Amino acid sequence: MKATALGVALACLALPATGADRDSVNALLADNQCRDCDLAGAELAGADLRDAYLTYAVFDGANLEGADLRDAFMPFAQFSGARMRGILFDRTNARDTVFAGADLRAASMVGVALPRATLTEADLGGADLSGAFLEGANFGNARLVGAVLREADLTGARLTGADLSEADLTGAVTQAAGFSGAVFCRTVMPDGTLRSDGCP
């Protein structure tokens, strides 16, 4: 077991029950995989979960701040309401995953694959989604203030009511994407022009 993971595991054992299955938490930290397991409310801040296999895992309400999930495989996982500020998600495969209401501020999500993911009302302020594959993703009412979406593929994505103030969409693919009610304030558009018609 990695030293970082061991420290997190011991910390979890010392905490009162949070709703997460402790056996699942310990198995995840020891084996770097946890398919179909319940990790809702788990305390995993700073955990090293690179290359983890987490298909259908449930992390609703979990604390994953600063965790490292680069190159992880987690389609159909659930992170509703999870605390994920500063998380590392580079190149992770998270298709059809639910991040509704999650805190993803300052997350590094370079090259992440999130096709058909649900990110409604999620906070992605300052997140870096450069080169991300976001086809069909739902960002309804999400906060994307200052987010970097350079070269991201937003084909068919839904950004209804999303706040894109100061976001950078340079080179992004937005074919068939929906921006109804989205806020544009000092937003760099795909063609490099600045759009500010939504500023207060």
Which among 36, 32, 26 has a CA at the least distance from the CA of 52?
32
Which residues have CB under 8 Å from 120's CB, separation 6+? 100, 101, 138, 139, 140, 141, 142
Residue pLDDT, tens place only, 98-134: 999 999 999 999 999 999 999 999 999 999 999 999 9
**Cα atoms in the 13 Å half-sphere on the side-chain side of 84:** 30
Q: What does the alpha-carbon distance between residue 30 and residue 24 come to, in Å, rounded to a whole number?
A: 10
Its pTM surpasses 0.85: yes
Give strand pairing partners of 48.
Answer: 68
Q: Of 16-20, 88-92, 95-99, 125-129, which range is least confident?
A: 16-20
Q: What does the alpha-carbon distance between residue 95 and residue 53 come to, in Å, rounded to a whole number?
A: 13
Whether 11 shows a pLDDT value over 50: the answer reads: no
Looking at every residue in the chain, the average pLDDT score rounds to 91
Mean pLDDT of 84-95: 98
Helices assigned H by DSSP within the chain: 3-14, 22-31
Q: Which residue has the higher pLDDT, 4 or 76?
A: 76
Residue pLDDT, tens place only, 135-167: 999 999 999 999 999 999 999 999 999 999 999
